[in-house]
Structure formats: structure tokens, C-alpha cells
Amino acid sequence: MESFKQHIDALNESAASDRYEKSCADYLKTFGLNATRPKVDNTYSDLVVKGVVKEDIWIEVKMNHTDQLGNTRAFWDGKKWDAALDKKGPSKGKLSPLKVYICKTLDKEGKAFVNAVRKHVGRQDIIIPTTIGMLRDSKSVTRDEMIDFLKGQKNQYLISLPNKDLGALVTEHYTKGKTEPTYYIQAGDDFYRIGTKDPLKLGNKVPLFSGTGPFRMRVGMRTNYYEVQPEVKITGGMPKSDYSIKPGTKKKNPFEDYIK
């Protein structure tokens, strides 16, 4: 079960990630590029470079190859798994591609978890919430009930499916689930194309983002509630790239043809 320390570690990691994203933008600025880490919501990627081609170049930035690649939440509404409709972006009023994948996968693979929780709490008609507001519903499995249930489990995972094509899932998430499509992704010291559009015309000299790993859903404990959230971390199959925007890198700059 996720501890308070793990929660704090996650917050610290988020702050470090924010600093890394800004440092990548600052690194590109040293080449005279109009690169910023804009103050926008999570329907956008992390970094944007303007003025080099017709399109604004949106880039997702990850400190490591194994960083989390998709954050959202899901809940059991008593009959099926569901998620909150998007309030902004291209999926406004609908479920984003990642949420659709999560709900379909949980409906197929998460029945054993729901039934085990039902048995533990002694109720058939239950809701497994993911917000404080939902937790107030009389049918909801309480935070204390979920903590007690998880004490008897091997870990906090609802499902753990090995060797999934996470590269394809992540590509759809960033190219179709964002307000502005993501064209490239920086992971560690490697720069990748993501999806079919390539406004910098880098072609095959920059590899296409890909990789595999386990797709997992887990219960994360918070101070006053709990969340059901995905764990999307690529553990293998990511190619090496000769290009990078990591500060201090010795690799080639993917914007080299646009630097005056």
C-alpha cells in the first residue's frame, strides 16, 4: 500500500520533473530558440518551441526512460469502471483515449478485484471512488475499509498486465489526447518522434517512440481519500537516439537545421 512517505516522494519527484522541463527549455534558449515551459493545464505537453516552422513544436519531457507516462483516475460506479469526462482539450465532454483504454481494460481484467473488495466489506452494491466527493456516497468503500482490504493483499495493484505495447498507448495519449498534439518526446538523454507528424522533418535519423512494459492500475492512498490510478512505465524496447535536448548533452540538437 502506498505510504505517506511514498506520497511525499512522489511530490518531490514532481517538483524535480518541473525543474527538469524548465531546464530543457532554457537549454534550447541558449541556441536562440523561442522555447518555453508555458503555464498551461495538463491537456498540453510540457515544452513548446515557436517560430522555427509553421507549427508550434510541443514536446513532452521525461527525466528518465521509466518515468510515468500517463496520469488520470478511474472509479467503479457500481456496475462498470468509468472516469471523469474531460473538461478541456480535444476530448472535452468525452473520455480521453487513455481513459477509454483504462476503463475497457478494467472492465475486462478488474472483476476479481471488485469481487474481492465486495467480499471483504460484506456488501455487493459498492462504489470504488477516486475523489473526496465520491467518497461521501453511502455506497462507497471507505478509506479505512480500503486500507484494511489492502493489508491482506500482496500489493496495491488492481491489475498488472505484462509486456503490453505501451509505446502505442502513450503515442495515442499524447497525439490525440492533448489540446495541442505532441510531436516529440524527450526521455532521459534521448529525443524521439512520436506519432506520424514530423514538422521538423527529422525523418528516420530520429527514432520513433516505442516500448513495452506492464500496464498496471493501483490504489494510491491520500490523506483523506484514495485514488485508482494507472502506472504506465516503459521498461524495455525503447531505442537509442543520437539526438537530445537534455542540458549539457553531447548528442546532436534536433533543431540544428533551424539555428541561425
Instruction: For the chain, give every domain's residue range.
Output: 4-258
- pLDDT at residue 17 above 70? yes
* Cα 21 from chain centroid (whole Å): 15
Q: How far, CA to CA in Å, does 31 sit from each of 28, 179, 206, 253?
A: 6, 27, 20, 10
Tally the C-alpha atoms within 13 A of residue 90's C-alpha that lie toward its C-beta: 15
Amino acid (one-letter) located at 122: G
pLDDT at 13: 56
pLDDT band of 107, cuts 50, 70, 90:
very high
Residues in the chain: 260
pLDDT at 150: 97
pLDDT digits (tens, 9 = 90+) for 167-216: 999 999 999 999 999 999 999 999 999 999 999 999 999 999 999 999 99
Q: Where are the beta strands (DSSP E) in 94-233?
A: 157-164, 184-187, 190-193, 213-221, 226-232
pLDDT digits (tens, 9 = 90+) for 28-59: 999 999 999 999 998 999 999 999 999 999 99
pLDDT band of 75, cuts 50, 70, 90:
very high
pLDDT at 14: 73
Mean pLDDT (whole number) for 119-123: 98
**What is the sign of the dihedral through the CA atoms of 98, 99, 100 and 105?**
positive
pLDDT digits (tens, 9 = 90+) for 56-70: 999 999 999 989 888
Indicate left, alpha or beta for 237 from its phi (over 0: left) and psi (-120 to 50: alpha). Answer: left
Contact 171, 185 (CB under 8 A): no
**What is the sign of the dihedral through the CA atoms of 129, 134, 137 and 142?**
positive
Contact 60, 191 (CB under 8 A): no
Contact 49, 33 (CB under 8 A): yes
Report the distance separating Cα 82 and Cα 61, nearest Å: 28
- Indicate the DSSP class of residue 207: P
- pLDDT at residue 218 above 50? yes
pLDDT at 124: 97
